[in-house]
Amino acid sequence: MTYIEVSGSAYEIGRQQCEKLGELARICYRRYGHYHADEMPGHDPAPMLEWVQEHWPAQLEEVRGYADGLHMPFEQVFEFHFGPYVSAILDVQQCSNLGFRESPNGPILGGDLDDATGYVVQLTRREGAYAHVGIVWPGWLSYWGGVNECGLAVSGSSARVQTTTPPKPAQPPAWHSVYTARLVLETCRDVPEAIALLKQPGIAGHGNHIMIDETGNGVVVETHKPTGPYLAEHSWEPGGWICCGNFFVSEISPQEALASEDEHLRLCANRVRLLREFGARSEKGGGSIELLKATLRTHDGPDHGEGGICNPNNCCGVIYVPLERRILVAERFPCANEFIEYPLSGAHPAA
């Protein structure tokens, strides 16, 4: 995958990223504008602009850097980030995440990102924030997952199934889940701090965040959209593993999801079934990077593998090693490509 390093102020990071990635970032903006063209007209960005300026000025400056790096009007780039995107629920992602509390490399976490192609590996050193390395969408604040300098790792999965009534929407709307993963890595040292951050009003977004740290803390945090109040947390299973997929297990059990009439939900439930089977394997043979690789490469699913962990929607597979401050990334598809190491030290990637 494409790999870049950026450093400096928030504005400089945004500008550097877009200057280095160029057309790749522009493609992401064109793709987004096409998908949400019907939501753009008539949206007033002023309330959100005021809120972001007050609460997250660094993120606002990074967006200004994107605009200058892409030679686009700031107002248009801001609208892309904090207009309909913030309030939209992504249904297309089908990500899978599994973590082990103990392994020869300490606590480890693995996940397959199922989304549109175009993600890159980025090492970020922003002034006033913790350095981190992870998977980003070019020209965006979004962050699927990564490891920071404190030994905290985060990944996630979108989740649209909701059987309880969501809370009253906050004004302005909450951050999107792919933004909050970035906030966690930049501002939190461990899992307890990350949970406290996600409990703050207007932060959590939607979906499942799976987080582990070098000391052995691990949790799945479920959040509801759009206000993002703290909904539920699930810690390590008795055997020392943890997983999450594309629905809330506090809302619907994997067994109920597998029996659902919703085909998409059944496919998501099959992934959770597979994750749990691999988690159970670790109880007998121990957790390891090799076991995570095997998890991310499995195709045990119906419909040409659509319900497998490794499936036609894969963008990449990632393994996070907090204690060693590194990630391992297999480009689309994990079953066909080797995992390449990307350390937070900034050394050149190695097989």
3-class DSSP string for 241-255: EEEECCCCCCCCCHH
The domain tally of the chain equals 2
Query: Domain boundary at 87, 110, 132, which?
Result: 87
Q: What is the mean pLDDT of residues 17-24?
A: 90
Q: What does the pLDDT look like over 284-334, one tens digit per residue?
A: 999 999 999 999 999 987 665 668 899 888 999 999 999 999 999 999 999
Amino acid at 100: F
pLDDT at 198: 85
Judge contact between 316 and 118, C-beta under 8 A. Answer: no
> Residue 255 pLDDT > 50, yes or no?
yes
Report if residue 115 sits inside a domain.
yes
| Residues 102 and 185 placed together within one structural domain of the fold | yes
| Residues 48 and 105 placed together within one structural domain of the fold | no
Query: Domain boundary at 87, 106, 121, which?
Result: 87
Judge contact between 140 and 130, C-beta under 8 A. Answer: no
| Residues 116 and 81 placed together within one structural domain of the fold | no
> Residue 253 pLDDT > 50, yes or no?
yes
Report if residue 324 sits inside a domain.
yes
Mean pLDDT of the chain: 85
Judge contact between 6 and 346, C-beta under 8 A. Answer: no
One-character DSSP codes across 189-201: SSHHHHHHHHTST
CA distance 55 to 182: 15
Query: What b/e readout covers 87-108, taking b as 16+ CB neighbours within 10 angstroms?
Result: bbebeebbbbbbbbbbbebbbb
Report if residue 348 sits inside a domain.
no
Report if residue 351 sits inside a domain.
no
Confidence of residue 250 (pLDDT cuts 50, 70, 90): confident
Query: Domain boundary at 87, 107, 139, which?
Result: 87
Report the predicted TM-score, pTM, of the whole model to 2 decimal places. 0.91
| Residues 45 and 169 placed together within one structural domain of the fold | no
Q: What does the pLDDT look like over 32-82, one tens digit per residue?
A: 664 444 445 456 778 778 878 888 899 899 999 999 999 988 988 888 777
Query: Which residue, among 101, 70, 52, 20, has the nearest Cα to 282 in the 3D structure?
Result: 101
